[in-house]
Structure 1
């Protein structure tokens, strides 16, 4: 039980009236009693009163700063207010209006999110979306439930993006429940919206299972080892594993091959330090198969945002010393995919720089979306902004096929 007489001696005097008033206003505005408050033009009596309150020196100078978190701890430990600062202020100034209490409680819910965004500014778009839609309140009926939900969101996002992890394993690691990130759960809704933003997309999807799978894949999460796959062509393979033999047969027949994440566990690639041509769209790989057949050099298609299987195959190739050549769409989405690849594996541009864009004598669609720098070519973004036209891989397909034809080993 709080010691009201002691609280009055500590906080209701003339020299601490400013502090009590600041806390009253915070509660009235629905803000939590945390952080700091500062008084300028402080008197010596006001400084000494705070020193008696905190049990320590309170600095020097013309201003005085008080940590409300420290004050809360002092009041709890001293026994003056075992239930903390909010209870102490309520005892001294009277009942706080219920609406203000509710607002304060909801405001406290979002503090971990604000701290997360401070660490990862890229999530600012997601945070703004949460406020604009009221999504957290839609998913959680009260501040207590919402606080638990938000803490789980922060724990999951601390693991993303991943180098490759199963959805069930991620859920078990972060929530203690292998089904904690199943479709339809409030936690999944919030985490998926953040995952889309981490991948450079808007926080909302189209609601389809394919879109959700792609959103998870964009941050390195696969729903299972069979649903994540990668399209390739011309990889030599080998005789030591089933997957290696599959690749060898596909190359012999000049046919594209789809590999699942499961099949990439142990694999012979036999590419070594040779060239591997990486494209964004399946149409490029299909055209290469049609034009070059068994003579096509090794190719991999990332098929938009790379899946866990794509990452796994590219990692294996890079680890063996393969030289990766990458081409993507000349639009903002294409640049984001290129940036994501370059953050993880080394690659060289394959007609995917400012010079190639400017030389592309084609008529593409209007360039739309949020601009982004190309980490491999600082001139590419300005070139796209000046021209304002997107150039998809299909529009420069003859040049790409010719490169492949002239680089047959």
Structure 2
């Protein structure tokens, strides 16, 4: 196109007042629709109306809405020399090549079919998995746990190899992961492959595909196909639990309490403790620094505290379940950020607890007390509900400030020492 034509096109259709018209036309082209008929803009501004009048060389009608004939625009652009390719060509010149959304959709669908090809070949020979395979499609689980069809293909190919090995009696999950996907941690909780594989294990065991999401449910699902989990890696940190003299785990807890030292328990030890652990009140914290500071300051006089240390491991859940079975009540504190809120909500849903300086009043009080300190960190991430105190989520969203557990460590230790005056202690 000549320089004169380019300038003329820019003058007729390239300004911000005409962008709505170009957007509408481009969208039609992307969808494969013809550039015929009219498009209408409701509540058009005077500038938008004048731009159409300049383009068409006539008044654009009256009223609040503005209707433009695409056939007329195409004719004007061709006859004026602004765009020899008419309206279609003008949009390409102004905005660049037009996507073919129909073709892209077809290609995406083909890529997702290819991603499932190896898995579908395995399922074809395993009729017991046919319902599970349909469930994957119905729930969209694969698309939720993978970023795109390329990642899905890698994960599903590994899943297909894994399914050929199941059931596999007596094999540790780490060894199974190493032998089927070349990564001993490939079936760790939270990995996309693990999420899909445990649902397949439930299907092979005749259980509901989704399960209840707990560590015990996952353990049972794997056990149903002969796979046992590592019982030594998941640990839980605690302080001040009474223990007993009747079991190895109970004696460890009793000795640690007498010495005023933190105790680290493995999932293996807790699963072999077959009776409830009896305590009246147990405080739960999110970060190990609370346990360390309490051991330093209070030693053997510290009341029972359990640290979830981020997302609770199977060992954490098992210890809390043993305490709940023994009649314990719980009080919870964690970081005032969305990650901490998510952890707290998971514990609240499973066990129930009352706040330990972990509600709206405590959050606002901490911010007020921090006016003279260096600025606190901004709160980022997606807001989460706070069912124990619905107003807390709203307050955190409004204030947009995170408060880490370390910032209120002194108050928490005062509560543990029995000298605090917190109404929640």
Would you say same fold, with TM above 0.5?
A: yes
Match of 2:352 in 1: 346
CA–CA separation in structure 2 for the residues paired with 1:292 and 1:176: 41
Residues 353 and 139 from structure 1, CA distance in 2 versus in 1: closer, same or farther, beyond 3 angstroms?
A: closer
Match of 1:285 in 2: 291
Q: CA deviation at 1:401?
A: 0.8
**Cα-to-partner distance string for 1:146-183 (whole Å, 9 max, x where unaligned):** 8946x959xxxxxxxxxxxxxx9x9848x998843338
Q: CA deviation at 1:349?
A: 1.4
- Matched residue count: 270
Rg larger in structure: 2
367, 374, 399: which one pairs with 2:379? 367
**Does the 8 Å CA contact 1:238/1:268 hold for their aligned counterparts?**
no
CA–CA separation in structure 1 for the residues paired with 2:216 and 2:272: 23
**Cα-to-partner distance string for 1:199-230 (whole Å, 9 max, x where unaligned):** xxxxxxxxxxxxxxxxx989966951222211
**Cα-to-partner distance string for 1:226-282 (whole Å, 9 max, x where unaligned):** 222111101111111122122111111111111111211343888635110110000
Query: What SS does the aligned partner of 2:306 have?
Result: strand
253, 256, 259: which one pairs with 1:247? 253
CA–CA separation in structure 1 for the residues paired with 2:384 and 2:195: 14
**Does the 8 Å CA contact 1:171/1:178 hold for their aligned counterparts?**
no
Could you state the TM-score of these two structures normalised by the residue count of structure 2? 0.53
**Does the 8 Å CA contact 1:272/1:322 hold for their aligned counterparts?**
yes
- Give the RMSD, CA atoms, in angstroms: 4.4
Query: Are 2:145 and 1:126 equivalent residues in the alignment?
Result: yes
Which runs of 4 or more aligned residues in structure 1 lie more than 2 Å from their structure 2 counterparts after TM superposition?
99-121, 123-127, 136-140, 145-149, 170-173, 175-184, 186-198, 216-223, 265-273, 361-364
Mapping 1:112-261, distance limit 5 Å: 115-116=135-136, 118-119=138-139, 125-127=144-146, 129-131=147-149, 134-138=150-154, 148=160, 152=163, 172=168, 179-182=175-178, 185=181, 189=186, 192-194=190-192, 223-261=229-267
**Does the 8 Å CA contact 1:240/1:268 hold for their aligned counterparts?**
no
310, 313, 327: which one pairs with 1:321? 327
Residues 365 and 237 from structure 1, CA distance in 2 versus in 1: closer, same or farther, beyond 3 angstroms?
A: same
Query: What SS does the aligned partner of 1:272 have?
Result: coil
Query: What SS does the aligned partner of 2:282 have?
Result: strand
Structure 2: stretches of 5+ with no match in the other structure: 1-106, 121-131, 197-213, 220-227
Residues 386 and 269 from structure 1, CA distance in 2 versus in 1: closer, same or farther, beyond 3 angstroms?
A: farther
**Does the 8 Å CA contact 2:337/2:402 hold for their aligned counterparts?**
yes
Structure 1: stretches of 5+ with no match in the other structure: 1-98, 154-167, 199-215
Match of 1:308 in 2: 314
CA–CA separation in structure 2 for the residues paired with 1:196 and 1:351: 36
Match of 2:398 in 1: 386
Q: CA deviation at 1:115?
A: 4.6
Residues 239 and 190 from structure 1, CA distance in 2 versus in 1: closer, same or farther, beyond 3 angstroms?
A: closer
